[in-house]
Amino acid sequence: MRITVLFFALYSVLRKQSCNVKVYAPRLVAEGRARLRGRFSIETLLPSAGWVRRAWQPTEEDLYNSCGLDGVVFSRIFVFSLRVFSLAAIIGIFVLLPTGMVGGNELHEKLHVCSHLLDVSNQTPMEFVGRLWCHFSAAYIITGVMCYLLYAEYKYIAEKRIAYFNASKPQPQHFTVLVRDIPLHAGNSLSDTVEAFFTEYHPSDYLLFNFLVDALDDVRLPKSLCTVYRKLTHLKSTSSSSQNQNRSGFFGMFGKRVDLVRDYSKKLEDIEQNVRLVQSDSRRELKFFPAAFVSFKSRYGAAKALHIQQSVNPTEWVTEWAPEPRDVYWPFFSTSFMQRWISKLIVFVASVLLVILFLLVVAFVQSLTYLEELEALFPFLGKILKITVISQVVTGYLPSLILHLVAALVPPIVKLFSAMQGYVAVSQIEKSACKKMLLFTIWFLFFANVLTGSVTSEIEFLFDPKTIPSRLAVAVPAQVHICLHQVLINDIENFKINLLHFSLLMCDFISRHCCRRKDDKFEIPSIPYYSEIPRILLFVLLGLTYFLLAPMILPFILVFFCIGYIIYRNQLLDVYQPKYDTGGRFWPVVHNSTIFSLVLMHIIAVGIFGVKKLPVAAILIVPLPVLTLLFNDYCRKRFLPVFRKFSAEVCSYFARSIAFFYVCSCSMPHMVRFLFPLKRSERASNGSRTKKNPGFALLCGM
């Protein structure tokens, strides 16, 4: 606890240093809201709680304006958990703990006391019935309250999502549908095919289409294009003219001064000129992708075209909502239906292999704690392991170090897997990665910790559904300490690291003092929802599973959520800039995971009563998971469609005939594609417009 306070103090001091402002508030800098203290004062060296107040104060409205609905959903997870665990902690500490309290005040005993509390052997029947009654009521009350809160949250976020959609300005992606797997017959060009199809089947709604050409691969300029464009934008946004000049020599330190803006503008124009040359070269064959962005006259028209199956063959003319321009992920635009299907299968197999690999690592790590086994495996290590220091390191720190390293490798691997599944938007990839991470987190950080054993025993566990409750009931209480230590403590440290950004701080420090041309590479990070949400949901799982067994864990979880709430609000407002806005589509994941945690709590309760040979109690708990699952089914029917598709009522709200060109900003430098707006009648008039904005014109590809 003291370390936590120290960390917070350190953060508040470091944050005040104006040289660190790009590490601790990059977003404020980018938006020009950062107060840069010009000169040194004693105040900047004193720790203060001002940042906590600033993170606490903003309303949900502010958060929404700053981070979109996803940020709101993220903070609602904390609000929801705080509500649930406040009640759970009150019930746990004031009701469950006293009934189980036999003696001794130490935490150690308290933690263990509840798991022994239903031991009938040394209790009178009356005492026992009373305790049973308490535990039952607690399980039923907490389930009821959670279901009510889950329902309220789901409803609240669904309403927010609809309101958000209604209130937003008409945006190109709402009028545009991405069509893939366009069938090409010999003799017909892609543009003719698309034009003919949509004018025939959507005559009243169809507006125009952009299709995708793999043009820049030939021009050999793609890599520099985006860098130049980004640098130019950055330079234009910073006002002071002195910064825009640089020496032309070695690392910008020698040579004559040049105007960077003019320099980059020139470069951009050269690239554009080159591209135009290539395009106007009629002999060159363009490599068309069998995909197109089709725009409609109204949101409703786009929704209609999206929801109705286009072709007789469901694997052709596959439609989906066009992603936000900033959210587009290019590599899989040209994939066909079959390729996507196969890559999904490959990803599934790869995930299974990853799980097995991770299980092997965990098994190896667990074997490290028994030096004898290690010696038997590697006899040549015998002498080395006899040295006390080494044996201590090997048994004490090495296992936790290896686990941490491997666990740190998992999120990027999982994200890579999701990216391979053929999604066309970063948000879709991260949502899919979030689900995978959730499975992974729950399985490894919970089950692998609880069910310490070999790979085979864990697989056996899955294949023997009858014994699951009783095995969990035995294993879960036994591992309270490990769970508390490994997960809770480690993760609060993780928060602090997240807050302090040590690695970034060091990089920034080095770059500022050793290499002076870092300014234009300055990038605002985006929050990795896919790895953060599962981590938080793990605590909901922990809190619920230990609610009946060891209520003393609940205050710790409450503290965790309080700290997390402040830290993440701070990060959302000052540090991270959202890269996309899914409109709260992460909430169904949170909801389902919470329902899973609840049902797991019920299964463990059944197991405990079974182990303690109280069949009546076990049977009386059974309706709880059934009711919870029914509640979940109802929620799925009632709210999930809102997150999947927009209804006629919502779409018609903005059914105005506004024409939009769907212009995608290039998110990956080496994958810049050209978008051709090819409605013939409009073709002629486009030339004049593109002159105004070279960046736009370039991307528009006219």
Based on the shown chain and the rule CB under 8 A, indicate whether residue 457 belongs to the binding site for its own copies: no
Of the candidate spans 16-24, 31-39, 300-308, 378-386, the one that interacts with its own copies by CB under 8 A turns out to be 300-308
415 binds its own copies (CB under 8 A): no
Helix (H) or strand (E) holding 674: strand 674-677
Q: Does 642 bind its own copies (CB under 8 A)?
A: yes
Q: Give the DSSP H/E element, type plus range, for residue 263.
A: helix 260-280
Among the residue ranges 175-183, 281-289, 309-317, 575-583, the one whose residues contact its own copies (CB under 8 A): 309-317
Please spell the DSSP secondary structure of 297-344, one letter per residue.
SSHHHHHHHHHS--SSSTTSSEEEEPPPGGGB-GGGTT--HHHHHHHH
Q: Strand order in 206-213's β-sheet? A: 318-321, 176-180, 288-296, 206-213, 674-677
Of 314, 412, 555, 687, which one interacts with its own copies (CB under 8 A)?
Answer: 314
Q: Which residue has the tokens 């992603």?
A: 323
Q: Which of 107, 196, 345, 387 binds its own copies (CB under 8 A)?
A: 345
107 binds its own copies (CB under 8 A): no
Coarse DSSP helix, strand, coil percentages of the chain, rounded to the nearest 5 percent: 70, 5, 25
d(C-alpha 643, C-alpha 133), whole Å: 40
Q: Pick the closer one to its own copies by CB: 393 or 648.
A: 648
Total residues at the site for its own copies (CB under 8 A)? 41
Q: Determine the Cα angle at 272 with ends 268 and 277, to 5°.
A: 150
| C-beta of 2 vs 644, nearer to its own copies | 644
Question: Which tokens hold the place of 522?
Answer: 């300055």
For residue 327, CA distances in Å to 415, 666, 669 come to 15, 9, 14
Q: Which span (200-208, 216-224, 246-254, 369-377) binds its own copies, by CB under 8 A?
A: 200-208
| Segments of 250-304 assigned E as strands | 257-259, 288-296
Residues 6+ apart with CB under 8 A from 106: none
- Tell me which residue has tokens 């980018």: 30
- Report the residue from 243, 313, 457, 693 that binds its own copies according to the rule CB under 8 A: 313
The distance of closest approach from Cβ of residue 250 to its own copies in the complex, given in angstroms and rounded to an integer, is: 58
Token reading at 576: 């991270």
Note whether 405 binds its own copies by CB under 8 A: no
Tell me if 635 contacts its own copies by CB under 8 A.
Answer: no
Q: How far is the CB of 551 from its own copies (least distance, A)?
A: 33
Shortest approach of its own copies to residue 588 CB, angstroms?
Answer: 13
| Alpha carbons 155 and 131: distance in angstroms, whole number | 36
Q: Give whichever of 161 and 673 is closer to its own copies, judged by the CB atom.
A: 161
| Measured distance CA(578)–CA(68) in Å, rounded | 8
Residue placing its CB nearer to its own copies in the complex, 646 or 662: 646
Residue 310 within binding range of its own copies, rule CB under 8 A: yes
Give yes or no for residue 602 binding its own copies (CB under 8 A): no
Beta pairing, strands 257-259 & 674-677: unpaired
In the bound state with its own copies, the residue whose beta carbon lies nearer, of 283 and 644, is 644
CB 326 within 8 A of CB 226: no
Asked if residue 343 binds its own copies (CB under 8 A), the reply is no
Query: What residues contact residue 384 under an 8 Å CB cut-off, 6+ apart?
Result: 390
**Residues 420 and 354: beta-carbon distance below 8 Å:** no
C-beta of 283 vs 637, nearer to its own copies: 637
CB of 660 to its own copies, least distance (A): 20
State the nearest-atom distance from the C-beta of 234 to its own copies, in Å: 41
- Cβ atoms of 318 and 181 within 8 Å: the answer is yes
Of residues 266 and 307, the one with the C-beta less far from its own copies: 307
CB of 440 to its own copies, least distance (A): 23
Closest approach, Cβ 197 to its own copies, in A, equals: 9
Write out the binding residues for its own copies, residues 131-190 only, by CB under 8 A. Answer: 162
Which one, 279 or 351, has the nearer CB to its own copies?
351
Q: How far is the CB of 312 from its own copies (least distance, A)?
A: 5
What separation in angstroms does the CA of 594 have from each of 85, 245, 439, 440, 597? 13, 55, 13, 15, 5
**According to the binding rule CB under 8 A, does residue 652 interact with its own copies?**
yes
Cβ-contact 422, 343 below 8 angstroms: yes
**Among 69, 150, 228, 303, interactor with its own copies by CB under 8 A:** 303
Return the residue of 135, 160, 180, 202 that touches its own copies, per CB under 8 A.
202
Residue with tokens 């021009």: 219
Which range, of 102-110, 312-320, 485-493, 574-582, touches its own copies by CB under 8 A?
312-320
Alpha-carbon gap, residue 115 to 617, rounded angstroms: 16
How close are the terminal C-alpha atoms of the chain, in Å? 61
The values of phi and psi at residue 38, to 5°, are -70, -45
Does 386 interact with its own copies (rule: CB under 8 A)?
no
Please identify, using beta-carbon distances, which residue of 243 and 647 lies nearer to its own copies: 647
Among 312, 514, 616, 684, binds its own copies (CB under 8 A): 312
Of 671, 548, 663, 528, nearest in space to 603 by CA:
548
Task: Tell me which of 65, 137, 238, 315 binds its own copies, using CB under 8 A.
Answer: 315
Does 336 participate in binding its own copies (rule CB under 8 A)?
no
The smaller minimum CB distance to its own copies, of residues 253 and 648, is found at 648
The residue within the footprint of its own copies, chosen from 649, 681, 688, 691 (CB under 8 A), is 649
User: Whole-number minimum distance, CB 630 to its own copies, in Å?
Assistant: 7
**Alpha-carbon torsion 349, 435, 428, 147, what sign?**
positive
Among 2, 35, 185, 466, binds its own copies (CB under 8 A): 466
- Report d(CA 88, CA 111) in Å as an integer: 16
Q: How far is the CB of 308 from its own copies (least distance, A)?
A: 5
105, 204, 239, 688: which one contacts its own copies (CB under 8 A)? 204
Binds its own copies (CB under 8 A): choice among 481, 645, 656, 670: 645
Distance of closest approach, residue 639 Cβ to its own copies, in angstroms: 8
- Is 309 an interacting residue with respect to its own copies (CB under 8 A)? yes
Residue 53 · residue 66 · CB < 8 Å: no
DSSP 8-state assignment for residue 206: E
Q: CA 205 to CA 199: how far, in whole Å? A: 9
Question: How far apart are the C-alpha atoms of 371 and 378, rounded to whole Å?
Answer: 10
Residues near 264 by Cβ (< 8 Å), separated by ≥ 6? 228, 231, 232, 235
Among the listed ranges 112-120, 306-314, 375-383, 564-572, the one in contact with its own copies (CB under 8 A) is 306-314
Candidate segments 1-9, 477-485, 486-494, 638-646, binder of its own copies by CB under 8 A: 638-646
**Which CB, 24 or 423, lies closer to its own copies?**
423
**What angle, 0 to 180 degrees and rounded to 10, lies between the N-to-C axes of helices 502-514 and 490-500?**
30
Binding residues for its own copies, per CB under 8 A?
162, 200-202, 204, 300, 303-305, 307-315, 337, 341, 345, 463-466, 630, 633-634, 637-639, 641-642, 645-652
